[in-house]
Structure 1
Amino acid sequence: MRSPVPQEVSEELRRVVERWRQLPLDHALSRMPLTSAVVQRLADRVAGSRGRPPRRVPDLGPAAVMDQLTVMVFDLYAAQPDAEVADVLSELSGIRHRL
Structure 2
Amino acid sequence: MPSRSPVPQEVSTELERVVRRWHQLPLDHALRCVPTVRTLLADLAGDRAPLLPDLGPAVVMDQLTVLVFDVCTAGGPDVDALPHRLRGLLADLSVDSM
Normalised-by-shorter TM-score class: 0.7 to 0.9
The aligned length equals 90
Q: TM-score, normalised by structure 1?
A: 0.84
Cα RMSD of the aligned pairs, angstroms, is: 1.3
What percent identity do the matched residue pairs reach?
A: 53
Residue among 34, 37, 60 paired with 1:35: 37
Residue among 18, 21, 25 paired with 1:16: 18
Comparing both structures, which one devotes a greater share of its residues to helix?
Answer: 2
Q: Which runs of 5+ in 1 are unaligned?
A: 45-52
Kindly indicate whether residue 87 of structure 2 is the aligned counterpart of residue 87 of structure 1. Answer: no
Q: TM-score, normalised by structure 2?
A: 0.84
Q: Which runs of 5+ in 2 are unaligned?
A: 94-98
Rounded Cα–Cα distance in structure 2 between residues aligned with 1:35 and 1:55: 13
> How much has 1:85 moved relative to structure 2?
4.2
Whether the aligned pair in 1 keeps the contact of 2:19 and 2:61 (CA below 8 Å) is yes
Corresponding position of 1:98: 92
- Tell me which stretches of 4 or more aligned residues in structure 1 moved more than 6 Å: none
Kindly indicate whether residue 68 of structure 2 is the aligned counterpart of residue 73 of structure 1. Answer: yes
Rounded Cα–Cα distance in structure 2 between residues aligned with 1:35 and 1:2: 27
